[in-house]
Structures are given as structure tokens and as C-alpha cells.
């Protein structure tokens, strides 16, 4: 049976779904079928946090968790970046960075950790979906203009992946804008309907990637 690791944050974990059977990871497992492993942890980011979060689990950045995943997967789906924008305090950095102390560096670090265990053909990165306040973050309890909009974080993920010839998937158009979006529970997290829609998109790309009928 095909084995798929899903590395992500609260959306991958299934936060906000009423029925965990509707979490996109579980839908994919039933539909393909495949053995799926959900490595989603709420609040986590690509980059390290400078000031520790209230919950230590939030600071388990993606690259640090690669070693904890089962290495026998046929495919690894990485879906994150929205928390780096939303409440991460690491600087953006630049494309020369390789440590997880910046967002650029965290993205490079994550990919290099993955490539220790998997081939580039076994990796898929999903770009962050639309959310409310894509140009603002919370600072001292107030919304303030972010140093880089969410679209900028998505562009960095896409450009860094391209350097390693790793495929990225962009479902922002299909999943829609955040305002009055029937697929969102709270302007950020997918609801049950959103997970079902998201799974349907991802299933087709996984089939193509793994040459499944």
C-alpha cells in the first residue's frame, strides 16, 4: 500500500473540523487508498521563533520534525507557512540563509532535512491558502502592517522549492478568497466542507505524482 507523510500545522492536524473523518489527510487515506501519517502540529512554522511561544509545541519548527517521521513513505506532502506570516517573529532573511533562524533559511533547512531521507520526486509542497488579514499581523494585541504579505511568504516557498526542482501546488484560486468563504471555519482554518474540497484537489495531484489511475 502507498504510504504518505503529511507535515503541517493546525490545518493538516484537522483543527476546526467537526468530524475528524473529514480531515483531508483521512479522506485521502480512504480514497486512494493509502496509509497516511498525520504529522500536523498546531501553531508550527517553517522558521524558529525568537521569543518562545506560550505553548512549547508551537516552536517545533518543520525542519526539526523531519527526523521523527517514518522514512518509508512514498510521498511527503508539506503544507505550511501561514503561521510564519501570522505570528512568527523570525526575520524574512535572504536566499543565502540555510539556518532555520529566518524564513528563507527555514525553508532551505526544511528541504535539506527532507532530502536526507527522501528523493526530490517524493516531495510536494502546498502553498499557503488565502486567509483574512493577509497584509496584517497581530503586534502587542493590535493589527499592524506585516513586513511581508502572506503572498510574499508563498512566493518564497515557491522560489526556494524551484531551486531544488521540487514541485509546489497552489490551490488559492480553487479554494477562494477568505471573505465569506464557505470552506473556512474562522477566516483561516478549513471547515469540514473545506477539507473535503481540499482533499479532492490534492488527491488528483497525488495520483498524477505517483502515476496512479
How do the domains of the chain map onto residue ranges? 3-209
Using DSSP's 3-state secondary structure scheme, residue 186 falls into: coil
At residue 140, the pLDDT reads: 66
Find the radius of gyration of the CA atoms of the chain.
Answer: 16
Q: What is the mean pLDDT of residues 20-41?
A: 98
Q: Classify domain 3-209 at the CATH class level.
A: alpha beta
Q: What is the mean pLDDT of the chain?
A: 96
Using DSSP's 3-state secondary structure scheme, residue 134 falls into: coil
Nearest to 8 by CA among 159, 198, 209: 198
C-alpha cell at 163: 531551486
**CA end-to-end span of the chain:** 14
Does pTM top 0.75 for this prediction? yes
pLDDT for 65-113, tens place per residue? Answer: 999 999 999 999 999 999 999 999 999 999 999 999 999 999 999 999 9
Q: What is the pLDDT confidence band of residue 138, given thresholds at 50, 70 and 90?
A: confident
pLDDT for 169-202, tens place per residue? Answer: 999 999 999 999 999 999 999 999 999 999 999 9
Alpha-carbon distance 213 to 200, whole Å?
Answer: 15
Task: Report whether 77 contacts 202 (CB < 8 A).
Answer: yes
DSSP state of 71: T
At residue 46, the pLDDT reads: 98
Alpha-carbon distance 154 to 212, whole Å?
Answer: 28
Amino acid at each position: 500500500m502507498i504510504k504518505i507523510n503529511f507535515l503541517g500545522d493546525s490545518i493538516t492536524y484537522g483543527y476546526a473540523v467537526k468530524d475528524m473523518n473529514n480531515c483531508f489527510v483521512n479522506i485521502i487515506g480512504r480514497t486512494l487508498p493509502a496509509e497516511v501519517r498525520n504529522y500536523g502540529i498546531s501553531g508550527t512554522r517553517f522558521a524558529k521563533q525568537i521569543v518562545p511561544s506560550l505553548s512549547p509545541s508551537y516552536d517545533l519548527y518543520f525542519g526539526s520534525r523531519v527526523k521523527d517521521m517514518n522514512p518509508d513513505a512514498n510521498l511527503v506532502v508539506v503544507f505550511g507557512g501561514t503561521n510564519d506570516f501570522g505570528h512568527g517573529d523570525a526575520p524574512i532573511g535572504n536566499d543565502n540563509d540555510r539556518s532555520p533562524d529566518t524564513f528563507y533559511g527555514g525553508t532551505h533547512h526544511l528541504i535539506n532535512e527532507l532530502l536526507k531521507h527522501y528523493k526530490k520526486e517524493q516531495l510536494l509542497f502546498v502553498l499557503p491558502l488565502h486567509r483574512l488579514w493577509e497584509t496584517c499581523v497581530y503586534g502587542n494585541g493590535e493589527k499592524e502592517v506585516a513586513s511581508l504579505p502572506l503572498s510574499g511568504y508563498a512566493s518564497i516557498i515557491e522560489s526556494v522549492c524551484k531551486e531544488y526542482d521540487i514541485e509546489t501546488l497552489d490551490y488559492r484560486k480553487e479554494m477562494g478568497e477568505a471573505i465569506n468563504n464557505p470552506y473556512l471555519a474562522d477566516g483561516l482554518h478549513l471547515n469540514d466542507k473545506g477539507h473535503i474540497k481540499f482533499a479532492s484537489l490534492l488527491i488528483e495531484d497525488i495520483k498524477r505524482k505517483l502515476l496512479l489511475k
